[in-house]
Amino acid sequence: MTTTHHPRPQTAAQVPAVPLTTEGYSVLHQMLRLRWPAWRALPASEKSAIAQEASEALAAMEEHSPGQSALYSLIGHKGDLMLIHFRNTFGDLNQAELQLANLRLSDYLEPTTSYLSIIELGLYDSTLKIYKELTDQGIEPHSDQWKSEIECKLNRHKEAMHPRLFPDIPPHRYACFYPMDRRRGEDKNWYQLPIEERARQMNEHGLVGRRYAGEVRQIITGSIGFDDWEWGVDLFADDPLVFKKLIYEMRFDQVSAVYALFGHFYVGVRVPAAKLEQLLSGKLPE
């Protein structure tokens, strides 16, 4: 008996597996350790002058437009300070780094880590609708017409979502930052799931976050190709307990329980630039 094998359809004509995204501000997190022994050894007048110079520079960066910077006092051993910078371009982020490196305070700071990413909105639901609409019109995936149609639709979405893509840094007292990946190992691989299933799981995941909308502000950044993890997550709230509750509840989602991997967590207290000298004297501003 002869078995006839039918060839699989060419993948080039199939709907792409990659979800569409729109991007906004470039983002840099800097975690720094203060060399306390060297700092304490300075005369009080010199410490005051150095702190004043840094305070004035950071105050200007807080008000920078477009994009801002914010300073946090880190809790725990992973560093003393965390700076978050939102800017239009990576070049602008590098300029912020250079500006800080030229302050006299930088002589007493050591970087512990950093994270480079870009604000990202994942568009799973919209992607499925757009791909279906284009394929129903008989437009070949990845063709010039396909790319042109998608670019047009993404530009409209980016305009509509401008406040979410280019936000101010939330003013809340506490910030929590962590990087994360989607599992792509031998047993479970997020990237081999059908796009429809990924969309379903991400929609379920998003429902949890929306329940905390009044208590916490979440900003997701994409870092594939920019840093060691795939995404960064910033949470901002006036009560840090909400970080635990939100992240714990999300762990029970399928997408997190099965496919999520997490990096180190960094939690800090917001410090206005004007209060930097008080912080460097060992007193956390109220």
Residues catalogued as catalytic: 178
13 by Cβ neighbours in 10 Å (0-12 / 13-18 / 19+) ranks as exposed
Phi then psi for residue 73, to 5 deg, are -90, 115
Read off the amino acid at residue 9. Answer: P
Q: Please, are residues 47 and 39 in contact by the beta-carbon 8 Å criterion?
A: yes
Give CA–CA dist 92/69, Å, rounded: 12
Cβ neighbors of 146 (< 8 A, separation 6 or more) are 134, 139, 140
- At CA 29, angle to CA 255 and CA 235, rounded to 5? 45
Contacts of 57 (CB under 8 A, 6+ apart): 99, 100, 103
Strands 69-74 and 109-122: unpaired
